[in-house]
A = this chain, B = another copy of it.
Amino acid sequence: MSNALGLEVKTIVETPPEEVERVKEWINTDEYKEKNFARQALVINPAHACQPLGAQLAAHGFEGTLPFVHGSQGCASYYRSTLNRHFREPAPAVSDAMTEDGAVFGGQNNLHEGLENAYAIYKPKMIAVFTSCMPEVIGDDLTAFIKNAKQKGFVPKEMPVPYANTPSFSGTHINGYDSMLLSILQNLTEGKQIEGRCTGKLNLIPGCDFNTGDYREYKRILEAFGIPYTVLADISDSFDSPCDGNYHLYAGGTKLDDAADSINCKATIAIGSYSTAKTFGWVKDNFSGKHASLPMPMGIEKTDAFIMKVAELFGKDVPASLKNERGRAVDAITDSHQYIHGKKFAVYGDPDYLMGYVSFLLEVGARPHHILCSRGNKKVEKDLQALLDGSPFGQGCKIYMNKDLWHLRSLLMTDPVDGIIGDSHGKFAARDAKVPLFRFGFPIFDRVNKHRYPLIGYQGAINMMTEICNKFIDIKDDTCEDRLFELMR
């Protein structure tokens, strides 16, 4: 029998319950894991987004800056809502709403009309343009388009309109962040280098970090040092702004003048060697002063490294307040080490976060048993392996490069761990594996205020240790027999 379309017509038959049961068990087996890891084409539950998202994050990090998506308006809606959900904050951005015509005529008209309108309505000090798929596929020439826009007066000639090519079919959000940030810095500092001038300031580039608490923590640390600084791409006020009855379209960001003058700095530290690779490469060659690229200062050792680098670059001693803070963090850690010692973790996320999680876990005596990097290169793998090799707690831990959260599920079901560190998307695998998910990183859609608690610095180490240990105690309290339920833990 066939229907009007020539398609076969069948009677509906329900899948037998025993077959459902069989498959339900099967997907937890080693056999399934092998098939799952044999995948070549299908990606299931990836732990990374696409470049423009990161580009938008970087754009929000500058004063009066309107992120501008050259592409379909749907793209912009996706980036914006993702940031809204993570930060529970506005994420104002526009697009030039390209449609089919773009494929035929190119996107210049959309870009020009978009710039004109955006400038008139939203009165930005800078418009940061980045691309989604369409213009990348059709090959729009943004250099020319923007030059023309200024010539035709759609935006003032003096207004910075940096742009970045951020094709979604290459890299992840961290690369988009890097490209946009680089473009902004190139644009703002162009011609601003002054021979002999030194601002005496430290440029700090926090990297593609979605935790506003981290930004504030960096600043607090530098203030403890008494070192003048410019945080480049400072999203802290942009995505953690007061609720006081007034909405500010541009709630925060690095002052454009400071960013322009950053080229005359005393030193620059770029955090996150993967999400600031291109930017740091350029800064190193173009900014005055000294330059350092450091891993995210997660845990005591990596924070020590950061602190010492700052001290070294500025020839300062580490202030007593930070020494004490370090001591208190170590105290918090030694006080609680027994709750995490030897515990196995699965961790996933962006390479820079991963390096931090792994370093922290190893130094407190936990085992980063499954390390899953959704997208990363050989260098990421080598750096992670070096961390593992440096600790007895790294023995037996394994790195899975370019794998997704459906791979993770197989790992969890066949080689269980005690906890998972990652973003909200891991909650399904965590539920199936019946282990807690520690929501660090990005995105966190299902818990409140997490991005306000720093993960970096000594305070970040306290925060991670506290959350993890208290959760393990929660679990003990929740699941122990009555006779083992007790006042002290």
Query: Which residues of A are interface residues toward B (Cβ below 8 A)?
Result: 85, 88-89, 240-244, 323-328, 330-332, 334-336, 339, 424-425, 427-428, 431, 445-450, 452-453, 462, 465-466, 469-470, 473, 477, 485-489
* A424 B242 Cβ-Cβ under 8 A: no
Q: Given A446-B473, A448-B469, A469-B448, does the pair A323, B242 have CB atoms closer than 8 Å?
A: yes
Query: Which residues of the partner chain B approach A324 to less than 8 Å between Cβ atoms?
Result: 242
- A470–B448 touching, CB < 8 Å: yes
User: Which of chain B's residues have a CB closer than 8 A to the CB of A486?
Assistant: 446
A–B pairs, 25, beta carbons within 8 Å: A85-B488, A241-B327, A241-B328, A242-B328, A242-B331, A243-B327, A243-B331, A243-B335, A244-B323, A244-B326, A328-B452, A424-B487, A425-B487, A427-B477, A427-B487, A431-B477, A445-B488, A446-B487, A446-B489, A448-B465, A448-B473, A449-B470, A450-B466, A452-B462, A452-B466
CA distance A241 to B445 in the complex (A): 36
Measured between beta carbons, the chain B residues less than 8 angstroms from A452 are 328, 332, 462, 466
**Once the chains are docked, how many angstroms separate the CA of A447 from the CA of B469?**
8
**Complex A-B, nearest 3 residue pairs according to Cβ-Cβ distance, in ascending order:** A242-B327, A243-B331, A446-B489
- Contact among B241, B326, B447, B488 with A446 in the assembled complex (CB-CB below 8 Å): B488
The complex places the Cα of A445 from the Cα of B473 at a distance, in Å, of 11
Q: Is the CB of A465 within 8 A of B489?
A: no
Asked if A327 contacts B488 (CB within 8 A), the reply is: no
Assess the B447–A485 pair: CB atoms within 8 A. Answer: no
Considering the complex, give the chain B residue whose CB is closest to the CB of A212: B328
Docked-complex contact B339 and A448, CB < 8 angstroms: yes
| Whole-angstrom distance between the Cβ of A185 and the nearest chain B Cβ | 27
Q: Judging by beta carbons under 8 Å apart, are B242 and A477 in contact?
A: no
Q: Once the chains are docked, how many angstroms separate the CA of A119 from the CA of B242?
A: 53
Instruction: Give the residue name and chain of the B residue nearest to A325 (CB).
Output: B242
Determine whether the beta carbon of A431 is less than 8 Å from that of B327: no
Residue in A242, A445, A485, A488 whose Cβ sees the most chain B Cβ within 10 Å: A242
Residues of B within 8 A of A449 (CB): 332, 335-336, 462, 465-466, 469-470
A214 to chain B, nearest CB (A): 15
Q: How far is the CA of A342 from the CA of B383 in the complex (A)?
A: 50
Q: A332-B448, A427-B477, A450-B470 are in contact. List 8 more A-B contacts (CB 8 A).
A: A240-B328, A242-B326, A242-B330, A244-B330, A446-B488, A447-B489, A449-B465, A452-B462
Instruction: Name the residue of chain B whose CB is nearest to the CB of A485.
Output: B431
Contacts of A332 in B (CB 8 A): 448-449, 452
- The answer for the CA separation of A448 and B463 in the assembled complex, in Å, is 11
Beta-carbon contact of A446 and B477 below 8 Å: yes
Q: Is the CB of A448 within 8 A of B336?
A: yes
Q: Are B445 and A335 in contact (CB under 8 A)?
A: no
- Does the CB pair A327–B244 fall under 8 Å? yes
Q: Which residues of B contact A488 (CB under 8 A)?
A: 85, 424, 445-446
* Min CB–CB distance A442 → chain B (angstroms): 14
Q: Across the interface, which residues of B come within 8 angstroms of A487, CB to CB?
A: 424-425, 427-428, 445-446
- Shortest distance from the beta carbon of A429 to any chain B beta carbon, whole Å: 12
Min CB distance, A447 to chain B, in Å? 5
For A485, list chain B residues within 8 Å (CB).
427-428, 431
A335: chain B residues at CB < 8 Å are: 88, 243, 448-449
What residues on B are CB-neighbors of A447 within 8 Å?
470, 473, 489
Q: Which residues of B contact A242 (CB under 8 A)?
A: 323-328, 330-331
CA distance A478 to B7 in the complex (A): 44
Collect the chain B residues with CB atoms within 8 Å of residue A334's CB: 243
